[in-house]
Structure 1
């Protein structure tokens, strides 16, 4: 599909329509009634809560993984919701890009601040989910007494629903910001980021923004018993790079094994990658992060964080942090094998074997340097390395006082006095491209939860029901503080 803009008062994607709308009406009352038993009856009675839940459930129950082509339909659904709330038709655009969709919606301000717009970022797509592997259906919003479950409940349909619901709420309340606010939702953040690149590098009206706030990163950490530890504000992220490493062989009949075998040779390289440890690295921001989090967390892990903060060459402390999936990415570059493909027949020797290796590279380290290190680790001159895509190296965004103040108000409305800590994300988001395009970008998502309970990209992805309702005021507080008179 060629790039272009779908007029909102005309074309309707076939994916949309009566069935899509009927689904909302049919299940809303049942789900809301069930939620009252979870102790949120007061919250769910508000129009804002019900509308945000409707949006959340509707978009979560659409499979927007890269092969489905459904982000265009979700973008149109969200556009319709904004138009129904009073957005002008010219201010809401649904833009197709190949098999994906983009939503751009401008909330017009009165211009009294004399400042450039603020971008509000999110992405509508999700990673794939195999239903046979899940305990619950991945594309139906279900719940127990504690959590919502479905693919995308965290990443990033939580942020998309909360932002969209907030825009509708503010519009209905008659709020007029002192500058424009621009919603910019991408359609393939989890794969090629074609839509993100289009927004960041081909839409100058977006990169003229003074800064961007990203719903896809940032958030609060809770202990297992629900005690708030801190709120992390994302100001940097690692470079995302993926290689395919292929070993080839003439092959032959399986009844005549040979000493060289493509799968065995590749396996040796994979085991070498598994055993390899990239050097420990740090920045002033990551050291400050570990000091503050460690002092809050306490215990063995907290002690290791503090020791690392004061002496990042403490090998014992670094080794302890490496065992923690939530923190290892903050201490070094990481590379992991994520996919395998090998052989062509059960009774034939493999003619090729390929491993996909995904790396998250510490800021300041060149992609070429990591490839050179991987080649040395694999130690097979015949192995072919193919770099996929075009890795993006992005700068650190210096923390702004106005952003920090606004986010502090939102966080402290829930957890008074809680520390806000700037951090570097080990994962990649749309923010990397906007930072590269010159737009300072800050991850300020509204989720508070135990990091050990996060299963984004994994099985049985979930978000606490309490976290959903507690976040309902998060974005309105931030937006009003930054753009209110």
Structure 2
């Protein structure tokens, strides 16, 4: 998963890590980061998409880098999971506190060369951006995490907490490797996820607007609504047509809106966003944050695809299947309805609502496997907020740092479900809808590599020492 980000240049006083050299002042160009960029170039070149069996290849490459930097081989493990794999690396501390988990994923969404302007699996730097599948979601962040552990090792850093890097291999699909990691590593202080949260820049001015710490995410669930009918010859149409009945059901689902909901995280996020968003949308954010029962404000937010998921459970048709022959009446028809469920709302209650909305007793409504995972909001830990705020303000002094909720799903949900407080803290600042994660010509501002290295070093030193 990758939520919208924003682009920006590091402040003049920002310190960045130059591989093999240490710290340098004010240089945020990728040319100052030869080791990091070589690693990122290689990572992008490995097509870690579902079915290509390439995630273990990337895992082995990253494992070798960590071991070469001095992480003991016994503290680096590749866990095979089907055709994919997870990578675990433990940076040992003094053992005075529970481990701090660092989360990311090595897999990427598929990309077809013929659809892209550039080769999606070749890292290209152009006009201040890095192009390639995984630049935004999320091989850049994975490389930054690996490089940060390497830097800490070179510096001889001895934290109180072990730092355990957990890189999953199928976050974009089945999340089987994530489930395995959560089973093994749930006795932890908290988890920091580089695949969520992050900074937003004003799309008009390019100035930093705010930074969000992801402290909650919605529950992901797929429901299959299916119908059957006797079928027959297409030259003798009947009223009992499974496709027609399904079409009416889809219309009912499309017309229904779940009631508005909020919690302290979403209200704080909307309050901060409202201060930086002009016009009726910003006013609605401010009003809803203060008065979540305001129907007019809720309607304005719900009309915007970027914000409807912040205030409601959403369900949308995503796939259709129907009929068995071109010249026969359909004997079956089905639709997949994908729901993103507001934290604290039971999955069964959403299913019950869908049953009422479709209003057709002949339809079956089934929750698809794997079973949905409830993802309760994480408590707002002051130590995490303070460390992230310090790192953000080192680059952009005074920028608001607020909690936020992801409308999508990330690896954090399995750890939250296992009782591990989890926080999305992607280092990047980007403009909304500027990265094209999951889409064509994915890109990331080149400035975010150096900024990410400094951000993660500051955060980990402060939280783990």
TM-score normalised by L of structure 1: 0.86
How far apart, CA to CA, are the structure 2 residues paired with 1:266 and 1:154? 38
**Secondary structure at the counterpart of residue 161 of structure 2:** coil
Map 1:60-71 to 2 at 5 A.
60-71=44-55
Map 1:6-405 to 2 at 5 A.
43-46=29-32, 49-111=33-95, 114-201=96-183, 203=184, 206-224=185-203, 225-388=205-368, 389-405=370-386
Structure 1 vs Structure 2 CA RMSD: 1.9
Q: Which has the higher contact order (CA 8 A, sep 6+)?
A: 2
| Offset at residue 481 of structure 1 (A) | 1.3
Tell me the matched-pair count.
438
How far apart, CA to CA, are the structure 1 residues paired with 2:68 and 2:452? 23
Q: Is the 8 A contact 2:210 2:399 kept in 1?
A: yes
How far apart, CA to CA, are the structure 2 residues paired with 1:88 and 1:221? 38
**Secondary structure at the counterpart of residue 453 of structure 1:** coil
How far apart, CA to CA, are the structure 2 residues paired with 1:131 and 1:169? 35
Q: Is the 8 A contact 2:246 2:333 kept in 1?
A: yes
Gaps of 5+ in 2: 1-25
Deviations 1:135-185 (A, max 9, x none): 443333334314323332222223212111211222223323232110011
| Offset at residue 329 of structure 1 (A) | 1.0
Q: Is the 8 A contact 2:216 2:265 kept in 1?
A: no
Q: Is the 8 A contact 2:272 2:402 kept in 1?
A: yes
How far apart, CA to CA, are the structure 1 residues paired with 2:135 and 2:357? 38
Match of 2:452 in 1: 471
| Offset at residue 193 of structure 1 (A) | 1.5
Structure 1 residues 271 and 288: alpha-carbon distance in aligned structure 2, compared to 1, 3 A threshold: same
Deviations 1:243-286 (A, max 9, x none): 12222223233333333322222222222222211111111221
How far apart, CA to CA, are the structure 2 residues paired with 1:216 and 1:235? 12
Greater helix percent: which structure? 1
Deviation >6 Å, runs of 4+: none
Gaps of 5+ in 1: 1-39
Match of 2:421 in 1: 440
How far apart, CA to CA, are the structure 2 residues paired with 1:52 and 1:255? 65
TM-score normalised by L of structure 2: 0.89
| Offset at residue 480 of structure 1 (A) | 1.2
| Offset at residue 130 of structure 1 (A) | 4.1
Structure 1 residues 264 and 61: alpha-carbon distance in aligned structure 2, compared to 1, 3 A threshold: farther
